[in-house]
Structure 1
Amino acid sequence: MKQFLLYTLKILLLTIVIAVVLDFGYTKVFLQSSNRGKIEKVFNSTDEKYDVVILGSSRANNHFVAQMFEERGLKTFNYGMSGGHLFEASLLLKLMIERNYLIKNVILEADLNLSNDHQAEGISAKFLPFLHESETIRRHFEKEADYRELYYIPFYRYVKYDAKIGVREVLDTSRNKPTSLLDNKGYYPLGKKPNANMKNNITNLNPLKKNQYFYEIKKFCEQKGIKFIAVMTPMCENTKGMDYFEKVKKLYPEIHNYEKVVSEDRYFSSCGHLNDAGARLFTARILKDFFN
């Protein structure tokens, strides 16, 4: 029995040592990365200066043409993240501030993502390699149900989110394999899909009365003297439940409603996402209204 316990203890210690070594190795790789994604780009940079930073979900990523801002002499980057929620948008802005970014204007896409205040695991996982390297990231995850496991158990976060930050991502990152996420200054143009479904139903969607991450972003902008521009972006004209946007306006009167600025189907790639032509029309309107 004594030998069995001793053997078990040795296996346990060996497992812990391997986990610690792997955790250190994986983290080291991500700490060298700056060309694969928007989160790594921010974490591994300092003292950047922007006239305009764009935050939000895919409806920011696909709707704001950063180059059009640049043509106006406004240094801009679209940090919208497809699949992301305001949880990640808030954390990314706080990380920029931690990294001493100087930002004049933040444009936040705030519409459908106001309906929840939880993390989008597929996106938030991209912050986890830096959990021990950034107090800002640690504090942001502190209230999450699995925080203790993620923070205190070596290599646990890499195992749990293997699809996002596991061995394949580590290998690609170590090889400096680029992605398209940083192309076009972060803007991801969509094409016109001939057979796209141009119908949507958001009848059951309701904005939260007080989305904590929306107010976090607003607060940080106020504290840092950043002009805060929150907007609702277009939806196709055959969407049911469009009174959702009226509900948002009632709860958040500071958000500018642009959901009807572009409405014809020919300007959409899908019902909730503009194609490149539609995005250019929309961006032109934003530039006219806020940057003339």
Structure 2
Amino acid sequence: MPKTKFQHFKALKNQRFDYVFLGSSRVENGISPEIIKNKTGKSSVNLGFQASKLSDVYLILQLLDAYHISYKKVFIQIDYIFNMEGGSSNILSYEILPFIHENEAISKQCLFHDPENFWCNKYLPFYRYCRTSQKNGIREVVSKTIKKKSAAFDQLGYAPLSGNFVNGKFMLPKKVASTNKFYNEIVSYATTHRKSVVFFTAPFRFVNQSSNYIQKLETKIPNLKNFSNELQNDAYFQNNNHLNHTGAVAFTTLLIEKLNL
């Protein structure tokens, strides 16, 4: 029985969806496929992974094909992660490590994330399990043995957040990176494989909007769908970067309207 979100993703092999949503926790906690299904009749899956950067998004985009998961359109959330060319998700990296031998895309991402331990992770028996025992060790084995139910995919990848914004300050970067190689890889892959890709920016709770980061980002990403300032009410937010469930309902409904889902 699948335990992690990545294992649930692998279990979607040979399935078909109308829409796929990729990105970080700002996707995972902010977009409900169930609402899309109820309002439009269209199928979708939320493949946002916690702390993902564009390198992780590129990996998942490739693996959709590797696992023969078909779709009509893929929506990719992008914001300040455009500036993080060298970054990747620690959480997703833990989850893919047991599958380091499965294909070249996973192997390359493991190398990118942890070059110092790559050889040992790939070629020394049990080394990768010892290094990540808290994530991939005995607790995982026990959970699978007793078939412990995972909540990782109860709502097709959507993970609702509770609670309301209390306090805190947030500001986007002042400058946009000149380029991001993984963004370029995503665009190239989509073009080569004839994928319909739409880039969008999810809502923020802005305390100070003196930064025009998203407007600058729009010059780097043609046709970027900018929803960064669409939800103004603090009641929609769990924190400055993430919507709570009420906000996710509002944002998913907005996407249905604005993106003609």
TM-score over 0.5 (shorter chain):
yes
Tell me by how many angstroms 1:102 deviates.
1.0
Alpha-carbon offset, residue 210 of structure 1: 2.1
Letter in 1 for 2:188: K
**Unmatched segments (≥5 aa) in structure 1:** 1-32
Greater Cα offset, 129-138 or 242-251? 242-251
| Contact 2:162–2:244 (CA under 8 A) maintained in structure 1 | yes
Aligned with residue 139 of structure 1, among 92, 108, 118: 108
What is the match of residue 43 of structure 2?
A: 75
Q: Does the 8 Å CA contact 2:50/2:91 hold for their aligned counterparts?
A: no
1:197 is aligned to 2:167: yes
Cα offsets for 1:62-91 (capped at 9, x unmatched): 111211221212111111112222222221
Match of 1:255 among 194, 199, 224: 224
Residue 9 of structure 1 corresponds to which residue in structure 2? none
Q: Unpaired segments of 5 or more residues in structure 2? A: none
2:66 to 85, 95, 98: 98
1:192-214 per-position Cα deviation (integer Å, ceiling 9, x unaligned): 326x224223346x443222222
Deviation of residue 50 (structure 1)? 0.8
**Counterpart residue type for residue 262 of structure 1:** L
Give the match for residue 128 of structure 1: 97
Query: CA 1:182 to 1:201, structure 2 compared with 1: closer, same or farther past 3 Å?
Result: same
**Aligned partners of 2:57, 2:138: CA distance in 1, in Å?**
26
Give me the whole-angstrom Cα distance separating, in 1, the residues matched to 2:80 and 2:149.
Answer: 30
Aligned to 1:113: 81
Q: 1:202 to 1:101 in 2, by over 3 A?
A: same
Whether 1:64 aligns to 2:34 is no
Distance 1:200 1:99 in 2: 38
SS at match of 1:225: coil
- Which amino acid letter does the alignment assign opposite residue 108 of structure 2? R
Identify the range of structure 1 (213-222 vs 130-139) with the bigger mean alpha-carbon deviation: 213-222
Number of residue equivalences: 257
Q: Secondary structure at the match of 1:193?
A: coil
Rg bigger for which structure?
1
Which of 185, 188, 196 is residue 227 of structure 1 equivalent to? Answer: 196
Is 1:50–1:102's contact at 8 Å kept on the other side of the alignment? yes
What do residues 212-259 of structure 1 show as CA deviations (whole Å, max 9, x unaligned)?
Answer: 222333333333333211101111131455422223222223322110
- Rounded to whole Å, the distance in 2 between the matches of 1:279 and 1:239 is 22
Tell me: CA distance 1:121–1:225, structure 2 relative to 1, closer, same or farther (3 Å). Answer: same
Q: After TM superposition, where is structure 1 displaced by more than 4 Å over at least 4 residues in a row?
A: none
CA contact 2:202–2:226 (8 Å) conserved in 1: yes
Partner of 1:48: 15
How many Å separate the matches in 2 of 1:245 and 1:158?
40
- SS of the aligned residue for 1:184 comes to coil
Go from structure 1 to structure 2 and tell me whether the alpha carbon gap of 1:211 and 1:188 turns closer, same or farther (over 3 Å shift).
same
Query: What CA distance in whole angstroms lies between the structure 2 residues aligned with 1:61 and 1:235?
Result: 15
Deviates more, 1:105-114 or 1:206-215: 206-215
Cα distance in 1 for residues equivalent to 2:147 and 2:179: 41
Larger RCO: 1 or 2 (CA < 8 Å, sep 6+) = 2
CA distance in 1, matches of 2:151, 2:97: 21
Indicate the SS of the match to 1:78. strand
Name the structure 2 match of 1:178: 149
The alpha-carbon distance between structure 1 residues 190 and 97, as it changes in their structure 2 partners (threshold 3 A), is same
Closer/same/farther in 2, CA of residues 122 and 231 from structure 1, 3 Å limit: same
Alignment of 1:150 onto 2:117: no
Q: 1:174 to 1:239 in 2, by over 3 A?
A: farther
| Whole-Å separation in 2 of the counterparts to 1:287 and 1:142 | 38
Which letter does structure 2 place at the counterpart of 1:179? Answer: S
Structure with the larger helix share: 1
Q: Percent identity?
A: 25
Q: TM-score, normalised by structure 2?
A: 0.89
Indicate if the aligned counterparts of 1:203 and 1:240 stay in contact, CA closer than 8 A. no
State the alpha-carbon separation in 2 of the partners of residues 267 and 61 from structure 1.
15
* 8 Å CA contact 2:93, 2:110 repeated in 1: no
